[in-house]
Chain A
Amino acid sequence: MITPLALLGGVDPWIFGFSFLTVAVTLWMGFRSAKTSKTASDFFVAGRSVSVGWNASAISGEYLSAASFMGVAGMVMSSGYDALWYPVCYACGYLFLLLFIAGPLRRFGAYTIPDFAEGRFDSPLFRKIAVCFVLFIGFFYTMPQMKGAGVTLAYIFPGLPYWVGVVVVGAVITLNVALGGMKGITLVQAVQYWIKLFAISVPIFVLMAVVGFYNTQIGANLAPGETAPAVSSIERKPLVEKAPKDTAWIAPFGPLTTKAVTAAANALPAEQRADFLAEHQKPYSLLYTYSLIIALVCGTAGLPHILVRFYTNPDGVAAKKTTMWVMILIGVFYVFPPVFGVIGRNLLPELYSGVGAKGTDKIVLELPTLIGAKYGVVGSILSGITCAGAFAAFMSTFSGLLVSMTGALAHDVYGRMLRPQSRPAERMAAFKVAAVLIGGVAVTLGCFVEPLEINFMVGQAFAIAAASYFPLLFMSVWWRGMTMKGAATGMLTGGLCALGAAALTNLGTLALDKGPMGQVFAGFAPLNGFWAQHPLLRILCEQPAIWTVPLAITLMVVVSKATAAQVPTDIRMKMLVLHAPEKLGLKQEYIQEQQAGAGH
């Protein structure tokens, strides 16, 4: 008993109280709504009848993860302007979803992307291939959520090792999902959105009122070509050695996008460095920026746990309206996290020297305590609120991911592949086992990623989705010449290339870590030496979307043309169901034809 009590010694009761309340309310709501729904349809997509407002809040609640809540602020603080592409593209990616995918996908009326893949190409085999990517994308997406959990718990309980936080939070959420399923998650997720918006906006407005507004805080940083900062009235703490210089931080093509070229330049003899940088730095960072934009914009339109939610709209019209409201809700949210990063740079520069759980990723949690110096307990209360928001962020996204991944494993792998004859009770048991299994893997992976930036890892999940599901959905909805072989070849090649590139990048970064992870992954250190020789390859590996997305689409077209004879025979009817207004009642006709066909 001594250790837990000693841990509680440095705990701020306000911060602990708010966080605990968020967790308790989430669990209670999950269990309460679990009692009210019964059928399988309730279980997987919440009965498919949710109003536009609720659904939009729920999608936003599930989407705004630890990356949005903590990672964006941390990355803006560490890398400056270039990190702004993340919040902007996270929000704007929904436009692609709205323009090309949301309406048709809802009209087609399948529960999940694997359902769509099977229905569109009449191929159970393709369904199995599609299921794999729910798991690939899901695991890449859960790692940063787990890091968010580890960082937050290490902040609330100073002295607690990072991995304990990961294990505790992972276990609690896994248990919750295993016992409750997706039943009622719509309500929980919708409430979580409003908690998150409150938790990010209220503390930052109070902070700005005390220390100076967004624009003046940015103005205090020197822009290129200026001799004195635009605003001199702001109090700033001296930057530490590891922090990027003002002019590099505030301007485009800063430390984030030029990292590979800088590493390559440092490997050269000193007299060649300046020439090398002048020649390569800006073009390469432009390439990096474009690749990042493609990954995030296309990736948003291919995230499995978000697309599932579109089926809870009553029809295609509602699906479109919902998407627009989601863009407004998350757009409002994304204005705030960068403000934390900007103020953090001016007032908490010591975080630049921290690593892992003590680094810039915790700026959102720590910044509000600065008010405490002037206003006492208010600082703790505000920090408690942002901690509660962080809990809401990684809990809601992790539960959502866990439900889609468990659904894929229990519904597709167990229910359709391993034991098609299993009884409903066995399937429910399989759901629980699958939840625990996936939760366990996610926690294990989460323990390894402390040295990686939260936001960067989520970007990788987007890059994989952009090269696999996005081309699949986009092409199958708009091109009737697609065949199953074309779709499968493109999706597998593009997706696996992106997956491999992301994994290599992470292994290289982990090998550089000075802590325990550096020793575990020391075998991958030569990779960094290779990249120092070839900075262009490093960028294409770190941000693969610029070549994997076109590769996937090209393969889809070429292979589909080569196998044109295998286009589904009722393709015209399928296309009508995807594109014709629901009022014409084509969906009912299609189902009747399918049933009649099954009798042959």
Chain B
Amino acid sequence: MSSPTPAHDDVVHSESFLRLLMRRQLSLSIACAATFLVALLGMPLLNYFAPAFMATRVAGFTLSWLILGVLFFPFVWIISYIFIKRSLRLEEDEVKDVRR
């Protein structure tokens, strides 16, 4: 690893860089977590307030069973795929910002 130049060092160790770094990563994480939590915590509410709707039959399953037992897994894969793509891009941007 090449030894960092003094200018680069100042940027990396500055308070503003750390704040920016954490804020960017955290806001991405929170956005993804919020999407997930709305679905996860919303399910029991739907079951509670709309039991007849959730008991609708879809190809033999009840709607509620189909969502929780099957569809939930791919939903989470999509969130994690989007998160990883964005998070890796963020990291690259951060490296570029410092090196510039």
| Size of interface on B: residues with Cβ below 8 Å to A | 50
A252 x B41 contact (CB < 8 A): no
Interface size on A, residues (CB 8 A): 61
Contact with B along A310-334 (1 / 0, CB 8 A): 0000000100110110011001101
Q: Which of A198-230 contact B (CB under 8 A)?
A: 214-219, 223-225, 230
CB distance from A294 to the nearest CB of B (A): 9
Please pick, from B18, B36, B65, the residue contacting A81 in the complex, using a CB distance under 8 A. B65
Report A51-99 residues with CB < 8 Å from chain B CB.
Answer: 81, 84-85, 87-89, 91-92, 94-96, 98-99
A residues contacting B by CB (< 8 A) are: 81, 84-85, 87-89, 91-92, 94-96, 98-100, 103, 214-219, 223-225, 230-231, 250-253, 282, 286, 289-290, 293, 297, 317, 320-321, 323-324, 327-328, 331-332, 334-335, 338, 478, 572-573, 575-576, 579-581, 583-586, 588
The chain A residue sitting closest to B66, CB to CB, is A215
**Total A-B residue contacts, Cβ distance less than 8 Å:** 147
In contact, A320 and B87 (Cβ under 8 angstroms) = yes
**Contacts A215-B60, A218-B65, A575-B22; A331 near B94 (Cβ below 8 A):** no
Tell whether, in the assembled complex, residue B33 and residue A252 are in contact, meaning their CB atoms are under 8 Å apart: no
**Residue ID in chain A nearest B57 by CB atoms:** A230
Given contacts A98-B84, A576-B12, 12 further A-B contacts (CB under 8 A): A84-B65, A92-B40, A219-B60, A250-B65, A251-B55, A317-B91, A320-B87, A324-B84, A335-B73, A579-B18, A581-B92, A584-B95
Q: State the Cβ distance, A87 to closest chain B Cβ, in Å.
A: 8
Within 8 A of A (CB), among B17-55: 18, 21-22, 25-26, 29, 32-33, 36, 40-41, 44, 47-48, 51-52, 54-55
Q: What residues of A have a CB within 8 angstroms of the CB of B48 in the complex?
A: 252-253, 282, 286
- Contact between A581 and B55 (Cβ–Cβ < 8 Å)? no
Contact A576 B18 (CB under 8 A): yes
B6 is an interface residue with CB less than 8 A from chain A? no
Can you list 12 A-B contacts (CB < 8 A)?
A: A98-B83, A99-B29, A100-B33, A214-B61, A224-B52, A225-B52, A253-B47, A320-B88, A324-B77, A334-B73, A338-B69, A579-B25
**Residue numbers in A under 8 Å from B52 (CB-CB):** 224-225
Residues of B within 8 Å of A98, CB to CB, are: 80, 83-84
CB distance from B78 to the nearest CB of A (A): 11
Residues of chain B having any CB pair with chain A under 8 Å: 1, 4, 12-13, 15, 18, 21-22, 25-26, 29, 32-33, 36, 40-41, 44, 47-48, 51-52, 54-55, 57, 59-62, 64-65, 68-70, 72-74, 76-77, 79-81, 83-84, 87-88, 91-92, 94-95, 98
Cβ of B79: which chain A residues have Cβ within 8 Å of it?
A: 95
A215 touches B61 (CB 8 A): yes
A580–B12 CB distance below 8 A? yes
CA distance in complex: A158, B43 (Å): 42
In the assembled complex, the CB of A577 is this many whole angstroms from the nearest CB of chain B, namely 11
Asked, given contacts A581-B94, A584-B12, whether A88 binds B72 with beta carbons under 8 Å apart, the answer is: yes
- In this complex, which of A81, A94, A216 has the most chain B Cβ atoms within 10 angstroms of its Cβ? A81
| Distance, CA A293 to CA B44, complexed state (A) | 10
Contact: B40 with A250, CB < 8 Å?
Answer: no
Assess whether A335 is in contact with B84, with CB atoms less than 8 Å apart. no
Contact of A252 (CB < 8 Å), options: B4, B44, B59, B70: B44
Top-8 shortest CB links A-B:
A215-B60, A219-B60, A331-B73, A252-B47, A581-B91, A99-B29, A324-B80, A585-B1
